[in-house]
């Protein structure tokens, strides 16, 4: 990933997290986590948190404990997600469940969440504690609704966007809101949460597009193979009622979708992602600071990832 527009101190601090995260838990739980959900990530969420902090004039180093909590919440959600999705790989390595078992993967995720609660209590900021707990609830709710939606044919595109906001927007909203809360201006914190959530929705929509275009980090057509409704699949239904029927009969395969229809559906979803990013850019422009160019660079990268 090209990150030349991110300030050097942020890149260094985000990179330094690898070492800290890797040494937090001196047990074989740590060994399992370090070889799976804590390995090979881009640390995109901490980078977003640091960029917003720098924008508001905060000291990056003071935000490191918060970045650790956010990254651990994210890692815990991936551990549980890989169990739910019966994944075999994550970031081109064996997934945590494949490396151990569902039982160990769930326990390792639980352990990470408990560690986050411990750290948040030590940080002694009740607002951030509540904001983080709400995000953990949102993550679970998002996955729950997503699971339910595979059983129902009356899902709307709004439902798909709600799931994207809950399962991906929530953590990015937290990354942006934390510096706002520490900065001490409630209006700014609320605007930043909204900013981060919009960025997260865009990120998830691009992920849904990449599921069909080949993300080098992921197995292609994963959602389709798992019968998981994503934004592109939903838009395909709008274009062809026949495809919708085939999907709910569990028979929709990548080969049965015409490339023309697929391209159309992907473009519609990409346009929604771009709108979400434009909305986020409008919010950040209103918040005084010196990191607009870097923040916009990161946002552009999110929608322009290879697809």
Cβ at position 261, least distance to ligand FPP in Å: 22
| 109 contacts ligand FPP (rule: CB under 6 A) | yes
Give least dist CB 140 to ligand FPP, A. 4
CA distances from 89 to 5, 100, 106, 121, 142 (A): 31, 12, 16, 33, 22
Tokens 């990354």, residue located: 175
Contact footprint for Mg ion (CB under 5 A) = 81, 85
Query: Taking the complex as a whole, how short is the minimal distance between the CB of residue 200 and ligand FPP, in angstroms?
Result: 9
Decide if 40 contacts 71 (C-beta within 8 A).
no
| C-alpha distances out from residue 137 to 77, 129, 141, Å | 11, 12, 6
Name which of Mg ion, ligand FPP, none residue 232 binds, using a CB cut-off of 5 to 8 Å depending on partner kind.
Answer: none
CB of 205 within 8 A of CB of 184? no
Give the residue from 143, 175, 189, 188 showing the smallest Cα distance to 302.
175
Q: Which of residues 152-181 bind ligand FPP (CB under 6 A)?
A: 167-168
Rounded to the nearest whole angstrom, what is the least distance from the CB of residue 59 to Mg ion in the complex? 35
Strand partners, 89: 94
Count of all residues that appear for the chain in the document: 307
The span from the CA of 58 to the CA of 149, in Å, is 41
The residue range among 55-63, 74-82, 97-105, 279-287 that interacts with ligand FPP, by the rule CB under 6 A, is 74-82
Q: How far is the CB of 210 from ligand FPP (least distance, A)?
A: 9
Residue 167 interacts, among Mg ion, ligand FPP, none and using kind-specific CB cut-offs from 5 to 8 Å, with ligand FPP
**Which one among 17, 60, 76, 189 touches ligand FPP, defined by CB under 6 A?**
76
Q: How many CB atoms lie within 10 A of CB 31?
A: 15
- Closest Cα to residue 175, out of 22, 1, 298? 298
- Applying CB under 6 A, which part among 59-67, 77-85, 235-243, 262-270 lies near ligand FPP? 77-85
Q: Angle at the Cα of 207 (from 206 to 213), degrees rounded to 5?
A: 85
- Find which of ligand FPP, Mg ion, none residue 162 binds, CB within 5 to 8 Å per kind: none
Site for ligand FPP in 138-157 (CB under 6 A): 139-140, 143
Closest to Mg ion by CB, 131 vs 162, is 162
Binding residues vs ligand FPP (CB under 6 A): 73, 76-77, 80-81, 84-85, 109, 113, 136, 139-140, 143, 167-168, 218, 222
């Amino acid at each position: 990933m090209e990150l030349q527009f991110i300030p050097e101190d942020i890149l260094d601090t985000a990179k330094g997290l690898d070492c800290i995260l890797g040494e937090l838990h001196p047990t074989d739980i740590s060994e399992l986590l370090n070889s799976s959900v804590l390995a090979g990530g881009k640390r995109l969420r901490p980078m977003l948190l640091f960029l917003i902090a720098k924008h508001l004039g905060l000291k990056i180093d003071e935000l490191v404990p918060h970045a650790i909590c956010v990254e651990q919440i994210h890692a815990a959600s991936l551990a549980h997600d890989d169990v739910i999705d019966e994944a075999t790989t994550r970031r081109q390595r064996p997934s945590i469940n494949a490396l151990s078992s569902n039982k160990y993967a769930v326990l390792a995720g639980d352990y990470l969440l408990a560690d986050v609660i411990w750290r948040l209590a030590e940080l002694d900021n009740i607002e951030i504690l509540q904001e983080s707990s709400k995000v953990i609830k949102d993550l679970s709710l998002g996955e729950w609704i997503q699971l339910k939606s595979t059983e129902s044919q009356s899902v709307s595109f709004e439902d798909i966007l709600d799931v994207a906001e809950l399962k991906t927007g929530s953590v990015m909203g937290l990354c942006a809101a934390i510096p706002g809360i520490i900065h001490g201006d409630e209006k700014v914190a609320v605007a930043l949460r909204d900013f981060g959530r919009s960025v997260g929705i865009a990120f998830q929509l691009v992920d849904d597009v990449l599921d069909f275009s080949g993300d080098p980090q992921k197995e292609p057509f994963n959602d389709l193979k798992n019968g998981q409704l994503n934004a592109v699949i939903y838009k395909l239904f709008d274009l062809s009622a026949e495809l919708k029927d085939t999907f709910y009969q569990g028979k929709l395969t990548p080969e049965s979708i015409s490339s023309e229809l697929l391209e159309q559906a992907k473009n519609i979803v990409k346009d929604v992602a771009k709108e979400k990013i434009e909305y986020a850019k409008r919010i950040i422009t209103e918040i005084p600071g010196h990191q607009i160019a870097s923040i916009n660079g990161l946002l552009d990268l999110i929608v322009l990832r290879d697809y």
